[in-house]
Structure 1
Amino acid sequence: MVEPLNMTRRQLLSAALAIGGTFTAGAALTACSSAASQPHSPAPGSSAPVTIGFVPIACASPLLAAHARGAFEAHGLNVQLKKFAGWADLWTAYATGALDVAHMLSPMPIAADAGATTAARPTELAFTQNTNGQALTLAAAHHPRVQHAGDLKDMVLGIPFEYSVHALLLRDYLAAHGVDPVADLELRLLRPADMIAQLSVGTIDGFIGPEPFNQRALATKSGRIFVPTKEMWDGHPCCSVAVAKDTDPRVRDALVAALHDGAAFVDNPAHTAEAAPMLAQEKYLNQKAELIAPALAGSYLSWAGEEIVDPDMINFGDPTSATAITWMAAQIARWDLGIDFDDRTIIDAAASVLPREADTAMTPVEINGRLFNPNTPTEGYPRSNA
């Protein structure tokens, strides 16, 4: 039996996730039955469309490139993209069965598949779109006074979603530097597009988020990159394409093949000049190509004032890592977001969403200065009292 306190937390979490979205109690109650009653995606070669939801951020470049360059058609699919302003709306559409395939932050399939919230649905993390490519950006007014993680106390920092590598990695980063992410500052849920506006008017002190919004902060001089997430965890996954487990396997395989094609294109530095204006189109990112190009190239101004060009600042199409997904499941458990804080439960929750193409080597990895062992995922991570 679920304890009343835990039930309340999960209800509150579902409400919090609806900020900027339309996740209602009715949608929560009908999520599983609606998903089950919807027709499955059509088989390859059919003229019926497969609708894929996405949020317009640079992490979705493989999906958008596959669409723009005809990769889906080449693999026998008629794909239509549906743009969502933020993760709450997309989350609702997927949970209620309006979508069978969606661009998701990588922790989202874990949460959906494990039933961590009312938006439960058996889900596979079919494809990892990108690794690295995010940053903790602070308001320019904090430069150069803020120099250490401890200086972030009492700030308000934007996060895109509770079930995001951004939120999980930021909490771990803060805790590793002696800052309580619950008691010492506020983490505020914001759509990516709203982060710059709120940073500019001073209602937040910073945000951890995707491109091209870090580039927009630099271009408008409203903010500066404090720490790229690559420095917290080099090679961390961020976004994925998730597929409902009852989707036709032929559709799933064709989708993954097309996504590999899209990732290969945008991951090649020689294609940046072509990729940036393609992704900039209104139907895709609806951002200036001049912001997208440096994001793809890994070009940015560091907090110390150095012009950095790092070709590994963002990568596309790396294999889905069992170690990485296990860490995310462990952090969902650690911060009381709906998975039990138990090694076996965490490992099983991660394994359940892995695609057959995943890198299943459970190899320890350094994250925020601490070695994470995916075989004992709770070791060294005290559970939050939040």
Structure 2
Amino acid sequence: MRTGEAAASALSRRRLLGLGASAGAATLLSACSPTQTGTAGTASADFDPSLTAPAGLEKRTMTIGYVPITCGTPIVTAAALGVYAKYGLEVTLRRYTGWAELWIAFVAGELDATQMLAPMPLAIHHNFASGRRDLRLPFVTNTNGNGITVARSLLGKVKGPDDFAGLRVGLPFDYSVHSLLTRDYLASGGLDPEQDVDLRIMRPADMVTALAVGELDAFCLPDQFNQRAVAEGAGFIHLLTKDLWPGHPCCSFAVAEDFAAANPNSYTALLRALGDVSLWIDEPAHRAEAAELMTAGSALGMPQPVLEAVLTGKFPDGTGKNRSVPDRIGFQPYPHESFGVWMLDAMQRQDLTGDAEFTQAGDYAGAVNSVFDSHAAADVLGSLGGDTAEHTSETVLGRTFDPRRPKKWSF
């Protein structure tokens, strides 16, 4: 297997070449790109935990992976505020620059838990691509928080999905809501995403520059990159993905099954810490402070005004307008079954489920519920006052998606 960026670029459409093929290759790859950010074990006086740590923690030390995007705000902020320590844990955060590297490291057993794009846990657990590991998804780390940005030179020319014909559009990973939703958005305009648009899988950190120098015409990415493109005059925000699917999942938090099963009290402590800080961040009064914390720690590598614009929802969109969208990004972490069913259906329609086939509603629900740990999530979030009421449907691209009849929704 090739290393570093060469391996990442080898992840072409429909293939994940050699992903997780061997522990040795995985170790080599992950060693090239992640950055240790230290042990987040120092308590902060600025955060008063709402719950207590469970008694009898089996394991206090753990390693958590993340990619430096605003979707991982709870993971990073919990470290900055000392929340992990207040729940009795010593957490080492390990940063990755791309999703392929993180996937490989997790499958190789180098991480106890990690941020993932929301479809990734389903794909890894059910072996949709090379490299699998049993896991649990107790939380989504964020809802909304993404957008489609178009090059400044196309302002006034790209107004709807049909205007993307022939354009070069960057996406972060096949197994992402960005990719799944963008393809359906393009199809809603009568385009064949595979034939009529030049879709390119790239590292998120590279795409603003690619847009600025004319290598890309547009991208769908987490909002820090959309806002950075606006700040640098490279592009304008065509739409927020919440305009396509209000309240959609973006990233998730996955915990290795072997870790959770062997350390149930430590698993609960971890969920209490992340659930507590997620709901703290979700409050409008704390958004600016969260942006400041992430800037101070250099965890995301973005200036504070960019992060604050995303988290507060008050931002210029690159068209000359200043917008106020309070729910531009949200942090209610309950993993709704309907989220998973839509993602499974989209992955299957886009030929991303390998040999697995889902035909009946029960097939979809069973596959989702074997990964989504909604019971653990409800226990923790119920104690914290979070939203735990299951969604009965989703509204995607203006149409109702019924998880009990998933195959009736398609483009």
TM-score range, shorter chain: 0.7 to 0.9
1:210 counterpart = 2:228: no
State the Cα deviation string for residues 202-228 of structure 1 (Å, max 9, x = none). Answer: 111111000311110010010110010
Q: Distance in 2 between matches of 1:303 and 1:68?
A: 31
State the Cα deviation string for residues 120-178 of structure 1 (Å, max 9, x = none). Answer: 11121121111111000010110011111100011111111111110011111111221
Normalised by the length of structure 1, the TM-score is 0.86
1:375 counterpart = 2:407: no
Q: Runs of 4+ in structure 1 displaced over 4 angstroms?
A: 14-17, 43-48
What's 1:129 paired with? Answer: 141
1:348 counterpart = 2:341: no
1:311 counterpart = 2:326: yes
1:28 counterpart = 2:45: no
Q: Distance in 2 between matches of 1:54 and 1:260?
A: 17
What's 1:223 paired with? Answer: 235
1:299 counterpart = 2:314: yes
Q: Distance in 2 between matches of 1:278 and 1:185?
A: 39
Amino acid corresponding to residue 371 of structure 1 in structure 2: T
The unaligned stretches of length 5 or more in structure 2 are 1-6, 28-54, 379-387
Q: CA deviation at 1:300?
A: 2.7
1:80 counterpart = 2:95: no
Give the stretch that moved more between structures: 335-344 or 86-95: 335-344
What's 1:178 paired with? Answer: 190
What's 1:3 paired with? Answer: none
Q: Distance in 1 between matches of 2:264 and 2:345?
A: 29
Equivalent residue for 1:97, pick from 94, 105, 109: 109
Equivalent residue for 2:78, pick from 66, 70, 86: 66
- Percentage of identical aligned residues: 38
What's 1:325 paired with? Answer: 340
Aligned length: 357
State the Cα deviation string for residues 246-265 of structure 1 (Å, max 9, x = none). Answer: 21222221111111122123
Do the aligned residues in 2 keep the contact of 1:362 with 1:374 (CA within 8 Å)? no
Q: Distance in 1 between matches of 2:93 and 2:22?
A: 26
Q: CA deviation at 1:302?
A: 4.0
Give the stretch that moved more between structures: 353-362 or 190-199: 353-362
Q: CA deviation at 1:311?
A: 0.8
Q: CA deviation at 1:234?
A: 0.3
State the Cα deviation string for residues 19-51 of structure 1 (Å, max 9, x = none). Answer: 7xxx863832459x99xxxxxxxx975776300
Q: Distance in 1 between matches of 2:132 and 2:80?
A: 31
Give the stretch that moved more between structures: 79-88 or 304-313: 304-313
Q: Distance in 2 between matches of 1:44 and 1:205?
A: 54
Do the aligned residues in 1 keep the contact of 2:148 with 2:239 (CA within 8 Å)? yes
Do the aligned residues in 2 keep the contact of 1:29 with 1:118 (CA within 8 Å)? no
Normalised by the length of structure 2, the TM-score is 0.81
1:363 counterpart = 2:380: no
Do the aligned residues in 1 keep the contact of 2:123 with 2:175 (CA within 8 Å)? yes
1:265 counterpart = 2:280: yes
Q: Distance in 2 between matches of 1:279 and 1:305?
A: 28
Do the aligned residues in 2 keep the contact of 1:44 with 1:254 (CA within 8 Å)? no
Do the aligned residues in 2 keep the contact of 1:46 with 1:76 (CA within 8 Å)? no
Equivalent residue for 1:146, pick from 154, 158, 166: 158
